[in-house]
Amino acid sequence: MIPLRDSTRSRSFPIITVLLIIVNLYIYFQQGAMTLVQEDRFLHQYALVPVFLTERLQSSFWSAVLYPPLVTSLFLHGGWFHVIFNMLYLWIFGDNIEDRLGRGRFLVFYLLCGIIANLSHVLIDPLSPVPLVGASGAIAGVLGAYIITFPRSRITSLLVIFIFITIRDIPAVYFLLFWFILQLFNGLTSIGLMSNSVAWWAHIGGFLSGMILMLIMKKKNRWDTYP
């Protein structure tokens, strides 16, 4: 299922969501202009490498907490397919969560979900030398917030079933539950695999943290008219 739009309209312009998309795309195109040597050096410095974080944690708790790639890795991507789909999901679901939280809270929420998602990945595979990049964990947090805030919203989705292609409106609760179950299934079946290229547990950790953080951070407003 590929989301195309949702039925819930934001009451304000999603400045932070748009800025996040612009920054992610800008950095991706900057990566594309690098030589292989430059990109390797760039990823070594800004991508999250689980074993590096584990080593820092063994030497100093604060050294691990202040490890910059916990945040910087959220703005890096491994390919055009990766960045386009991440930004599509952020555009469709992010504006409503930003509207509900407010701009400042939304930015904090987004970064916290991304950090927790990264830590979830490291917890599952703490000695991995493979760099972790992508906004997927933070965006998974946005999806987790969406499912508890706008469960009755409808997601217009492109469905591809073998050779059949159709467009359907799907309740957000079913769309996002299917997405989460898929991540959980892949996460459980990927445990112990060395060749896995998708950080399923970052998605799972981000989604669950988004649900919890939304309950803690959302504004109380009895005049809300969201579905």
Beta strands in the chain (DSSP E): 2-6, 154-161, 164-171
Residue 1 DSSP one-character state: -
Q: pLDDT for 50-109, tens place per residue?
A: 999 999 888 877 778 788 999 999 999 988 999 999 999 999 999 999 999 999 999 999
- Give the CA radius of gyration of the chain: 18
| Cβ atoms 205, 119 nearer than 8 A | yes
pTM of the model: 0.91
In the chain, where the domains are located: 2-217
pLDDT for 220? 58
Contact in structure between 138 and 76 (CB atoms under 8 Å): no
Give the pLDDT of residue 194: 58
User: What is the C-alpha to C-alpha distance for residues 115 and 133, in angstroms, rounded to an integer?
Assistant: 12
Q: What is the mean pLDDT of residues 7-14?
A: 91
Measured distance CA(43)–CA(73) in Å, rounded: 9
Q: Is the pLDDT of residue 23 over 50?
A: yes
- Residue 146: per-residue pLDDT: 97
What does the angle CA 182 – CA 188 – CA 191 come to, to the nearest 5 degrees? 135
Is the CATH number of domain 2-217 3.40.350.10?
A: no
Residue 115 in tokens: 């950090």
List pLDDT tens digits, range 211-221.
999 999 886 55
Give the model confidence (pLDDT) of 127-174 as tens digits.
Answer: 988 899 999 999 999 999 999 999 999 999 998 877 788 999 999 999
Task: Work out whether the CA dihedral 150, 151, 156, 162 comes out positive or negative.
Answer: positive
What pLDDT is stored for residue 223 in this prediction? 40
The mean pLDDT of the chain is 90
pLDDT per position as a tens digit, 171-209: 999 999 999 999 999 988 877 665 566 889 999 999 999
**What pLDDT sits at residue 164?**
83
Using 50, 70 and 90 to split pLDDT, how confident is the model at 10?
A: confident
Residue 85 is predicted with a pLDDT of 94
Within 10 angstroms of residue 159's Cβ, the number of other Cβ atoms is 12
pLDDT at 222 > cutoff 50: no
What is the per-residue pLDDT for 193? Answer: 65
Cα torsion angle, 77, 133, 75, 86, sign:
positive
Dist. CA 3–CA 174, nearest whole Å: 13
